[in-house]
């Protein structure tokens, strides 16, 4: 089919077609250290997983949870402490002493000094060694330990969820930058062709073959092509900056060497299997499952702190007391004595002004909220599985359609070249056929980009390679 020649409207339509889908790469980014790197999408995902601040934060959260678990377990074990004190008195109590002959002068009674109570020393020292062991706490300590273990489990799943999100977002940024980079070549071709068409139209106008409106229409199309070209350059740079944000690799000199994902030979994708894989492999769902268990355990802990919930503990205390500094004099040990005390302590709360009951009700509300969040996520996963399946299948069929369109445009361009050589068509019609070929190739790039994005979302959803196709 031959192209329309007369007006510039077909050319405007072609240029509008060229820019379709090229605004998807407007992403932001920051900082980097490497230069001139050939970067594959797999390497980008590996780098982002190792360098992302979000993942580092989740690792820190996991370490904190693990230390909290150690702390909770330590509460069930014996504790040993050492206490010491030293005192000084400005006016120590006097003792009881009977002087010789104070009771009778003749015969002298007593014949020698009698000391019934010695004078108190101004100094007093105490050293105590205390061993404590909880015996029964109405399951409070056990619930606290289990609560800490569930916090570790939730932190681990949160770390995995963060890794999956970073990998998905990195792949999305990579394919968006790749689309913008590869679109530049075809847009450059389109601009060059429009400049040649403009020269031909201006020559035709000078010869009186077309009116000035035709010249203005081509100029308008050229201005639009230049705008789209510059916009795509900016989008390509922004896409590289987005990769720099995720991977910490400098956007300067970065070369994207991976290709878009290929459509599968078999486009069948079982919806039930996809939903099952999404539920089974969702790290966010695991986080919420742990949150439900945490809320249930917290409620049990609150119940154990209520009235009529006794606590029993065993204490062993050895006290060593004395009035002289050790080794300060020969008989310093005369003032020192030791004592061992074994105590069994009990505590039974009777009434707490309904504080514990309010805590239990609050914990029960947390359980219900966690279960609602889990139910909402499962419904969203079910819906997302349906959406991603539809997007992936639609993108796969679109790729096949656009490949056929490119093949048709290539054949049309070949025929236009042959017609031009046989002087059966004009140079402008041949160039417009080349413009349509560029437009078809851009549409094919956009289709491959959409397919790659859909596959990245699919792999994020099911937690494995999309080879299940």
- Interval 394-432: pLDDT, tens: 999 999 999 999 999 999 999 999 998 888 888 888 888
pLDDT band with cut points at 50, 70 and 90 for residue 25: very low
Give the start-end residues of each E strand in 310-444. 311-322, 337-347
Nearest Cα residue to 31 out of 291, 232, 252, 339 = 252
Q: Which CATH architecture has domain 9-468?
A: Up-down Bundle (1.20)
- Interval 318-332: pLDDT, tens: 999 887 777 767 777
Domain positions in the chain: 9-468
Question: How large is the angle between the packed helices 283-304 and 140-206, nearest 10 degrees?
Answer: 150
Q: Give the separation between CA 270 and CA 266, rounded to whole angstroms.
A: 11
- Interval 241-250: pLDDT, tens: 988 888 888 8
User: If you count them, how many residues does the chain have?
Assistant: 469
**For residue 172, how many other CB atoms are within 10 A of its CB?**
20
Nearest Cα residue to 301 out of 150, 162, 428, 402 = 150
- Interval 182-232: pLDDT, tens: 999 889 988 998 898 899 889 889 988 889 998 999 899 899 989 989 998
Q: Which residue has the tokens 């370490």?
A: 63
Cβ partners under 8 Å of residue 77, min gap 6: 133
pLDDT band with cut points at 50, 70 and 90 for residue 449: very high
pLDDT band with cut points at 50, 70 and 90 for residue 301: confident
Question: What predicted TM-score, i.e. pTM, was given to this entire model?
Answer: 0.74
Cβ partners under 8 Å of residue 422, min gap 6: none
Q: Give the separation between CA 374 and CA 293, rounded to whole angstroms.
A: 11
Q: Give the separation between CA 258 and CA 106, rounded to whole angstroms.
A: 122
Looking at the predicted structure, is the pLDDT value of residue 468 above 50?
no
| CB-count burial class (<10 Å; 0-12, 13-18, 19+) for 247 | buried
Q: Are 405 and 443 in contact (CB under 8 A)?
A: yes
**Residues 164-178: what's their mean pLDDT?**
92
């Amino acid at each position: 089919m031959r192209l329309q020649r007369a007006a510039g409207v077909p050319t405007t339509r072609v240029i509008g077609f060229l820019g379709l889908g090229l605004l998807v790469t407007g992403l932001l980014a920051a900082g980097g250290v490497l230069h001139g790197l050939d970067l594959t999408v797999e390497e980008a995902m590996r780098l982002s997983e190792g360098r992302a601040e979000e993942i580092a934060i989740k690792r820190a959260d996991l370490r904190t949870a693990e230390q909290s678990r150690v702390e909770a377990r330590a509460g069930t074990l014996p504790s040993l402490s050492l206490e010491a004190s030293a005192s000084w008195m400005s006016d120590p109590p006097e003792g009881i002493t009977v002087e010789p002959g104070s009771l009778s002068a003749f015969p002298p009674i007593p014949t020698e000094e009698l000391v019934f109570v010695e004078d108190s020393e101004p100094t007093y020292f105490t050293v105590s060694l205390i061993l404590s062991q909880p015996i029964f706490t109405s399951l409070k300590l056990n619930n606290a330990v289990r609560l800490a273990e569930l916090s570790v489990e939730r932190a681990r799943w949160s770390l995995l969820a963060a890794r999956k999100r970073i990998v998905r977002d990195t792949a999305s940024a990579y394919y968006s930058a790749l689309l913008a980079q590869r679109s530049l070549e075809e847009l450059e071709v389109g601009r060059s062709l429009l400049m040649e068409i403009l020269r031909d139209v201006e020559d035709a106008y000078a010869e009186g073959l077309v009116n000035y409106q035709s010249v203005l229409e081509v100029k308008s199309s050229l201005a639009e092509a230049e705008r789209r070209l510059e916009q795509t350059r900016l989008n390509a740079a922004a896409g590289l900056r987005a990769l720099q944000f995720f991977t910490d690799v400098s956007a300067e000199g970065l070369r994207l060497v991976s290709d878009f994902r290929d459509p599968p030979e078999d486009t069948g994708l079982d919806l039930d299997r996809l939903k099952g894989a999404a539920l089974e492999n969702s790290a966010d769902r695991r986080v919420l499952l742990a949150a439900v268990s945490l809320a249930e355990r917290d409620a049990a802990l609150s119940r154990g702190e209520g009235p009529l919930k006794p606590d029993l503990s065993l204490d062993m205390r050895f006290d060593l007391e004395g009035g002289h500094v050790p080794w300060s004099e020969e008989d310093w040990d005369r003032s020192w004595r030791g004592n061992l005390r074994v105590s069994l302590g009990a505590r039974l709360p009777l009434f707490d002004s309904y504080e514990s009951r309010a805590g239990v009700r609050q914990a029960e509300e947390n359980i219900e909220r966690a279960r609602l969040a889990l139910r909402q996520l499962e419904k969203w996963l079910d819906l997302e599985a349906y959406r991603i399946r539809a997007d992936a299948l639609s993108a796969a069929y679109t790729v096949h359609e656009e490949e056929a369109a490119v093949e048709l445009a290539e054949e049309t361009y070949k025929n236009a070249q042959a017609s031009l050589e046989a002087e059966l068509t004009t140079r402008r019609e041949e160039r417009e056929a080349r413009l349509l070929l560029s437009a078809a190739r851009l549409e094919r790039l956009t289709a491959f980009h959409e397919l790659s994005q859909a596959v990245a979302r699919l792999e994020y959803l099911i937690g494995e390679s999309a080879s299940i196709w």
